[in-house]
Homo-oligomer: A and B are copies of this chain.
Amino acid sequence: MAVKAIEWKNGHVVMLDQRLLPAKEVRRVCKDYTEVARAIRDMVIRGAPAIGVAAAMGIALGALKAKEKSFDRDIERIFHVLGKTRPTAVNLFWAMARMRKVYIAKRVLGVEAVRRFLKEEALKIYEEDISANRQLGRFGAQVLGACSNILTHCNAGALATAGYGTALGVIRAMKESGKTIHVWVDETRPFLQGSRLTAWELKKEEIPLTVVTDNMVGYLMDQGKVDAVVVGCDRIAANGDVANKIGTYVVAVLAQRHKVPFYVAGPTSSIDLNCPSGAEIPIEQRDGREISHFFGRPLAPRGVRAFNPAFDVTPHELIAAIITEKGVIRPPFSHNVRIHVAH
């Protein structure tokens, strides 16, 4: 049974609460766009493509509930609130831009029609993401074909997307093509997307995996235990620099030292040509309590400060290839990313 992080169901947005996995599988029903916004901010749902889908569905839901007499003002409010949830993943802004385009084009047809078109667009974004991931997976499986031991960081799976996944889409496609693989799963502190979410998905797929702490990657590579790295991405700059979950840069630096190819998998909706380089990508800073506390229990002495940047930037020179639904981008990225988007 396929993992579904998010669904449009009976006029509501239903999400699997990823904060509780793998211990509990609880679905949250969002009946209002503010609930969708809160779910994105609080990481009930996370992962760049999934955040994009959630924002689109949030707008569709908001439009459905917005009063006719204050419709345009309400729509602006909805866009504003959803746009403030999380700053790094560009898919949020990409999905919102698509929704705004529909809103502008269809506004003349009246409120009922706009509501219908916005919902259709949100569902289209959802469907397109799944098929993009399947396409991306096939390209990735060709690129990584000779590798058996794959390391991944964070969760770029079905849970991080509308379904199938980006980095885990590549791994799923490798398995579907009959390859025998084993996945090293970084636990990915502080939110543990690796040990909680990626391990959960891989186990369901019966793909062999081993969890390690983030600081074990150097040891693994030094021991020759990693053939390739594949990760997802939250934003790809025009020059090929990639923002992704904190710690991705560390893995990339180690991969370079150990001559392990480092691949990034993401849909073209993660590419932001308005960002010339990684330096322009905003890095979300989250509450230090995500580090100093765990299940409400303090890990550090009371009053001790923790610093919690949620992402880092991997410079393009550490990346062997970027895999999208349109194919494979190789260096020189500063030239090839633009070409790839244009075609």
Q: Are B250 and A250 in contact (CB under 8 A)?
A: yes
Which residues of A are at the interface with B, using a C-beta cutoff of 8 A?
Answer: 22-23, 186-190, 192, 195-196, 199-200, 203, 209-220, 222, 246-247, 249-250, 253-254, 257, 283, 288, 291-292, 294-295, 297-309, 312-313
| Contact in complex: A187, B299 (CB < 8 Å) | yes
Q: Judging by beta carbons under 8 Å apart, are A219 and B192 in contact? A: no
Q: Are A300 and B196 neighbours in the complex by a CB distance under 8 Å?
A: yes
Does B253 lie within 8 Å of A312, measured CB to CB? Answer: no
Closest to A256 in B: B257
Whether the pair B218, A189 counts as a contact (CB closer than 8 A) is: no
Contact B210 A299, beta carbon cutoff 8 Å: no
Contact of A214 among B199, B210, B213 (CB under 8 A): B213
* Closest Cβ–Cβ distance, residue A148 to chain B (whole Å): 16
Which of A22, A220, A303 counts the most chain B CB atoms within 10 A? Answer: A22
Q: Given A190-B213, A254-B253, A257-B253, is A292 in contact with B195 using a C-beta cutoff of 8 Å?
A: yes
Q: Which of B23, B196, B214, B313 contacts A215 (CB 8 A)?
A: B214
- Which listed residue (B22, B220, B297) contacts A300, Cβ 8 A? B22
Inter-chain contact B222/A306, CB cutoff 8 Å: no
Known: A213-B214, A291-B212. A219 touches B189 (CB 8 A): no
Among B22, B249, B292, which residue has its beta carbon within 8 angstroms of that of A218?
B249
**A188 proximity list for chain B (CB < 8 A):** 215
Q: A209-B304, A214-B213 are in contact. Are A299 and B195 (CB under 8 A)?
A: yes
Q: Please, how many angstroms separate the alpha-carbon atoms of A95 and B94 in the complex?
A: 63
Chain B residue contacts of A301, Cβ below 8 A: 22, 199-200, 203
* Contact between chains at A189 and B192 (CB < 8 Å): no
State the Cβ distance, A88 to closest chain B Cβ, in Å: 13
List the B side residues contacting A196 at CB < 8 Å.
299-300
Are A306 and B210 closer than 8 Å at their CB atoms?
yes
Q: Please give, as numbers and ranges, the residues of chain B lying within 8 Å of A222 by CB-CB distance.
A: 249, 312-313
Q: Are B307 and A218 closer than 8 Å at their CB atoms? A: no
